[in-house]
């Protein structure tokens, strides 16, 4: 699931093969002066990974009225709760305020 803005920023949520939840923030506005490799199209990605064991706690923080965890509930609740966030920082603040552990990730992908 992906939420994109007209200013070049996108936030996606994915369920990983290890059953983790990954939020990824795509900054399509970065330029090659900020990278060590000049490419016609580079993309900086910033991610937050929520481990499998914390998914139920995460879903409960979004909607405490859901009794049974399911990936379908997770996608539905995330799409309604985080639809209007403007940055990954908003999601980090939500996780921190609800004491939900996460791992940050940053990398660059290059396309030639």
Taking alpha carbons only, the member of 81, 96, 64 closest to residue 13 is 81
Q: How far apart are CA 111 and CA 81, in angstroms?
A: 32
- Average pLDDT of the chain is 74
Q: How far apart are CA 66 and CA 17, in angstroms?
A: 24
Taking alpha carbons only, the member of 48, 25, 50, 46 closest to residue 100 is 50
3-state helix, strand, coil in the chain (%, to 5): 30, 30, 35
Yes or no: say if 40 and 31 are a contact pair by the CB < 8 Å rule: no
With 50 as the cut, is the pLDDT of residue 33 above it? no
pLDDT of residue 40: 44
Beta bridge partners of 22: 14, 49
Domain spans in the chain, listed from the N-terminal domain onward: 2-111
10 Å Cβ neighbour count for 15?
15
Chain segment 36-74, per-residue pLDDT in tens:
434 445 566 778 889 888 988 888 898 888 777 777 777
pLDDT of residue 24: 78
Q: How far apart are CA 71 and CA 61, in angstroms?
A: 15
Two tokens, residue 85:
């966030």
> pLDDT: is 50 or 108 the higher one?
50
- Could you give the percent of the chain with pLDDT greater than 90? 9
Q: Against a cut of 0.75, is the pTM above it?
A: no
pLDDT of residue 102: 92
- pLDDT band at 98; cut points 50, 70, 90: very high
């Amino acid at each position: 699931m992906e939420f994109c803005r007209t200013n070049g920023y996108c936030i996606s949520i994915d369920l990983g093969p290890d059953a983790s939840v990954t939020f990824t923030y795509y900054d399509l506005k970065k330029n090659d002066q900020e990278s060590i490799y000049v490419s016609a199209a580079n993309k900086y990605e910033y991610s937050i990974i929520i481990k499998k064991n914390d998914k139920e706690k995460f879903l409960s923080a979004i909607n405490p009225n859901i009794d049974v965890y399911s990936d379908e509930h997770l996608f539905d609740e995330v799409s309604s709760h985080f639809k209007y966030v403007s940055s990954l920082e908003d999601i980090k603040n939500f996780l921190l305020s609800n004491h939900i552990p996460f791992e940050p990730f940053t990398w660059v992908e290059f396309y030639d």
